[in-house]
Amino acid sequence: MNSGHSSLPPRAKNGGVSKKKPPRKKKSGVKSFFKAILIIVLLAVLGVVIYAGSLYFKAENGVLDTGNNTPVPPEKAATVKPITMLILGTDYRPKHQTYLTDVMMVVSMNPETNSATLVSLPRDTNIQLEGYNSNRKLNSFYTTFKSQEKDGGTSAEDEMKTMLGKYLDVDIDYVTVLDFQAFRDVVDALGGVNVNVQYNMCHRDSVDGTDINLKAGPQKLDGKEALDYVRYRKSMNCNPKTKESNDFDRNARQSEVLHSLIDQMKSFGGATKVFKVLDAVDDNMKTDLEKDQLKNMIKAYYDINKDNVKFMPVTGEWRSPFVYINESELAEAKQALKDELAGKHMNEPEETNTDSVSNP
């Protein structure tokens, strides 16, 4: 973004903007801003709101509504207080109606440093945590909590916040859940995403409708292909078979796609498609953010730079059927989240070499 871009709202101590005639509501207007912030956090693309002058105006004038009208005390506003959010990406699809969490990230954001730190955990993580079954993969807990919720228990989202907050030794303020369809639709709304596929990927499964067939090389992927790229694990029903992938490779590909999406959103073409992006996830998201807090977030982070968004994928050792987390990396991730909250944003760590690690 060049310094001559003047459509963004100025930072103001009272958060105010000049009064203008509010734009006419559209069919999905009351939900659009809500979706925007959630996309920003899920994709670690907090910089999406760099284009959101119009969204900012709508938020300030009460045109947009999250459905959660709980007041936010001034001292807890995202404009003055660092916040932490859990991001869950489920594998729910029309042909695969489950709630396994293939994506689990925790992001801490600090308004003073205008920065964020994002920690991701492997889906097959074996959690060693008092009170939780260590014989289960991390990605299965949300499904179990959803079942317990139906029987009158605490909400599955709150249970996940409690568990991962305890695991990462950090208080988690909010949780956002999106399914795979949202990811596909966002990529399509942006006209695709540019990546460099490192090797051929082929996996076909008629049971759940999976049909992955990607060729190596730089290319632009549509929503389905981008999801295939991020999710690919191993070759199945293909001749010849293609190289297997592991949780750590998938986390690296997630990071690649997220960075590419940031660049897409920062282009003029991406900026003009922002409302298509918002509509793309209209029915594929759940969150506990308050309406007022969303307005606070856009005030605090509308100009965040992607260089101030630090990704920290935690890796480990694959011993079937689990990933046993690298304790030193886990300790570094916990400290990074705490440092972010304390205003000590650090440079992004070097990428971990996972060439020697493999799993089904």
Predicted pLDDT at 359: 44
For 233, residues 6+ apart whose C-beta sits below 8 A from its C-beta are 203, 244, 245, 246, 250, 360
3 state DSSP class of 2: coil
45-54, 96-105, 257-266, 284-293: least confident range: 45-54
CA 210/CA 227 separation, integer angstroms: 10
Q: Where are the domains of the chain?
A: 29-188+273-341
- Region label for 237, one of left (φ > 0), alpha (ψ between -120 and 50) or beta (otherwise): left
Please list, residue by residue across 86-105, b when 16 or more beta carbons sit within 10 angstroms of its beta carbon and e when fewer do: bbbbbbbbeebeebbbbbbb
Predicted pLDDT at 292: 87
Backbone angles phi, psi at 151, to 5 degrees: -90, 15
The most confident of 165-169, 307-311, 343-347, by mean pLDDT: 165-169
For 76, residues 6+ apart whose C-beta sits below 8 A from its C-beta are none
Task: Please write the tens of the pLDDT for every residue from 155-211.
Answer: 999 999 999 999 999 999 999 888 878 888 888 988 899 999 999 999 998 877 789
- Confidence tier at 270 by pLDDT (50, 70, 90): low
Whether the per-residue pLDDT at 25 is higher than 60: the answer is no
Complete DSSP assignment for 246-272: -HHHHHHHHHHHHHHHHHHHHSHHHHH
What tokens were used for 283?
């029915």
Domain spanning 29-188+273-341: which CATH class is it, in words? Answer: alpha beta
Mean of the pLDDT values across residues 321-350? Answer: 88
What tokens were used for 198?
């490192």
Nearest Cα neighbor of 278 from 22, 2, 29 is 29
Q: Are 79 and 109 in contact (CB under 8 A)?
A: no
Whether the per-residue pLDDT at 320 is higher than 80: the answer is yes
Mean of the per-residue pLDDT values for the chain?
Answer: 78
How far, in Å, are 31, 64, 352 from residue 300 at the CA level?
A: 20, 18, 31
Whether the per-residue pLDDT at 280 is higher than 60: the answer is yes
CA angle 34, 38, 41 (to 5 degrees): 145
Specify the DSSP class assigned to residue 23: P
